Amino acid sequence: MHQIPVGPVHAGVIEPGHFRFHVQGETIVRLETRLGYAHKGVLGLMRGKSPRLAARLAARLSGDSTVAHAWAFAAAAEAATGVTPPPRATLLRGVMAELERIANHLNDIGFLCNDAAFAWPHARCGLLRERVLRAADAAFGHRLMMDRVVPGGVSIDIAPSGPEAILAALAAVVAGLPALRRAIEGHASLQDRLAGTGTLRPGTAAGFAAGGYVGRASGRDFDARRDMPYAPYDRLGFTVPLRRAGDVEARLQIRLDELAESTAMVAALLARLEAGETLLPIPARAGRGSAWWRASAARCCAGWRWTRRG
């Protein structure tokens, strides 16, 4: 029996977490996890801050889901203060969120294949993800779109050349999906590593209310964008992929299916952009608010109370 420690520092922008694998050959006998490994005192740092300053802390909870956390916090702050962001800002939030989802799914698909010693999909997904990140930088001035979603709307409008850059990157992703699917589904050695591995049975997923692609890969038909609709998704038709096998292969297939849906959503959102405001002021008003937002990697929930003093 061997113990393999991983983390808490990882080679990327994800949040810290410590994992200790107990393995016998290729069989994982036990896994110990310590999530939330590093206490950063974010809530303490937020106390006394204005909504705009506190939003910077929320956006840094996890680098790979900065749009998700920023949106959850912004929506909670807006609910507490009675602010409705402008329509253009809402559409731009949707564009950023789906770009973040696409980048994360490409990253995960590549690393899943690489961990099973199949390097070609990893290299291909890395190339496509880089194109998406560069398009995000061209459109919003930041590869990860950090600090772009703020209470009251968005801090920056899309660049004039932004839609063209985004659509070109997404066209490359769509063009690359068939080859990725063929490579993943057509190699027996990769399928041997993915199919039947890490199975989460539908009953267990339902009992724990597993969300995101994990729940949907195990038959739990839930998506906050559809089932708890909020703008701009409340006026956007899309299909929620669903699988029932609950193994690594099913979760990878969910990611592939969502790539196709998200690329179509971004194109639809860009087509609906009209001239208008992108940011409204947040009034000095006491209140309570909560928000629910579905991220690509997890479900983000934020609750926020602002008490006006003096």
What is the residue-level pLDDT of the chain in tens, covering all 310 positions?
Answer: 999 999 888 877 777 889 999 999 878 899 999 887 677 788 899 998 999 999 999 999 888 899 999 999 999 999 999 999 999 999 999 999 999 999 999 999 999 999 888 999 999 999 999 999 999 999 999 999 999 999 999 999 999 999 999 999 999 999 999 999 999 999 999 999 899 988 999 999 999 999 899 999 999 999 999 998 899 999 998 999 999 999 999 999 999 999 999 999 999 999 999 999 999 999 888 888 888 765 544 444 444 444 443 2
pTM over 0.85: yes
Rounded to an integer, what distance in angstroms lies between the CA atom of residue 268 and that of residue 95?
A: 9
Bridge partner residues of 291 (DSSP):
302
Q: Are strands 287-294 and 299-306 parallel, antiparallel or unpaired?
A: antiparallel
What region, left, alpha or beta, does residue 32 occupy, with left being phi > 0 and alpha being psi -120 to 50 degrees? beta
